[in-house]
Amino acid sequence: MFALVVRFDLKDDESAQAFDALVAETGAGIRAHEPGTLIYATHSVEGAPLARVFYECYADREAFDAHERQPHVIRFLKERELYTQDVRVEFLQVGPSKGVESS
């Protein structure tokens, strides 16, 4: 499994609404066209209305690379810059867990 967490800090309320709409459109493409994407969970952050956190799990690195090449993801990566003031990406390694296989 290949996993990452991404935190987006958005510019303002208007940007947050537009970002959330972009995420909804992107999620539809992920669900329809990405069998190697195991989990693509998006979250708002309690007490931080301009923050969003994504938790993403892929079958393997190749599935992640395929995700990054999808037209809906390319569009998301380009357009998110209009709405974000900061992005933080952390790649994860599986440790003791429930519900996921460790390699």
- pLDDT digit string, tens, across residues 62-100: 999 999 999 999 999 999 999 999 999 999 998 888 887
**Predicted local confidence at residue 94, as pLDDT:** 86
Amino acid identity at 25: E
Contacts of 40 by beta carbon, 8 Å cutoff, 6+ apart = 27, 30, 31, 34, 54, 56, 57
What is the rounded distance in angstroms from the CA atom of residue 4 to the CA atom of residue 100? 14
What is the rounded distance in angstroms from the CA atom of residue 69 to the CA atom of residue 20? 21
Average model confidence (pLDDT) for the chain?
96
What is the rounded distance in angstroms from the CA atom of residue 2 to the CA atom of residue 65? 10
What's the longest Cα–Cα distance across the chain?
42
Domains and CATH numbers, the chain: 2-92 (3.30.70.100)
Q: Tokens at residue 34, please?
A: 């990405």
What is the rounded distance in angstroms from the CA atom of residue 88 to the CA atom of residue 7? 5
User: 101 or 83: which carries more pLDDT confidence?
Assistant: 83
